[in-house]
Amino acid sequence: MDCCSTKYEAPLSAVDEPRVCSACEGAGRAVTRKTMLLMLKPEAFDRIGEGFYRFCASAECRVVYFPENGGESFTTDDLRVRVGLKEKSDPIPLCYCFGFDEADLREEIKATGDIGIPQRIASLVKQGMCACDDRNPSGACCLREVTKTAKRLMRELAQ
């Protein structure tokens, strides 16, 4: 089978079934093998099993990818990039396509009293310029997390 073939992608039924991380029992969303290969350090490639993997979105858990049917998981130490959801210190990446991090949001709020970054990202996404499934460790669009973080920072900085 060709390693770049879409046949390596999780079938819809596997994507829809809930699975939990064996380390923290947090919910996991399906990720493609391509996303994993782009995110993992090359020395971790030999540890990838045959089955499908999921992304653990729990902030307190160091596991990033876990296998659906048992086997070895991959932690933040196995990745080439910092996983924003799992980081506590700057830089905390939020948008992997356009390079925004939590400090960018904080600076914009301090400078303008508002945040335009989520709208800029949304505009770029509408123009077809994002590659979240390839650049974001979660394999999903960052806009939800960027918006959630923007709201949290607005509340924190208002206090």
| pLDDT 10s digits, 42-51 | 999 999 999 9
89, two tokens: 């210190």
pLDDT at 64 over 50: yes
Question: Is residue 141 within 8 Å of 125, Cβ to Cβ?
Answer: yes
Task: Give the contacts of 18 (CB within 8 A, at least 6 positions apart).
Answer: 27
C-alpha torsion angle, residues 17, 96, 82, 76 (rounded to 10): 20
The CATH code of domain 84-158 reads: 1.10.10
The residue written with tokens 């390079």 in the block is 99
pLDDT at 14 over 50: no
| Residue with more model confidence, 16 or 97 | 97
pLDDT at 142 over 80: yes
CATH 3.90.550.10 assigned to domain 6-78? The reply is no
Q: Which amino acid is at 46?
A: D
In the chain, which segments carry CATH 1.10.10? 84-158
pLDDT at 11 over 60: no
Q: Which amino acid is at 9?
A: E
Average pLDDT over residues 10-25: 67
In the chain, which segments carry CATH 2.20.25.270? 6-78
Task: Give the contacts of 105 (CB within 8 A, at least 6 positions apart).
Answer: 94, 115, 117, 146, 149, 150, 153
pLDDT digits (tens, 9 = 90+) for 108-141: 999 999 999 999 999 999 999 999 989 999 999 9
Helix 143-158 crosses helix 102-112 at what angle (to 10 degrees)? 50
Q: What is the rounded distance in angstroms from the CA atom of residue 100 to the CA atom of residue 153? A: 14
pLDDT score recorded for residue 2: 30
Confidence of residue 8 (pLDDT cuts 50, 70, 90): very low
Residue 55 CB neighbours (<10 A): 25
Task: Give the contacts of 141 (CB within 8 A, at least 6 positions apart).
Answer: 125, 130, 132
Strand pairing class (27-31; 53-56): antiparallel
pTM of structure: 0.84
The residue written with tokens 């996983």 in the block is 83
Average pLDDT over residues 19-28: 90
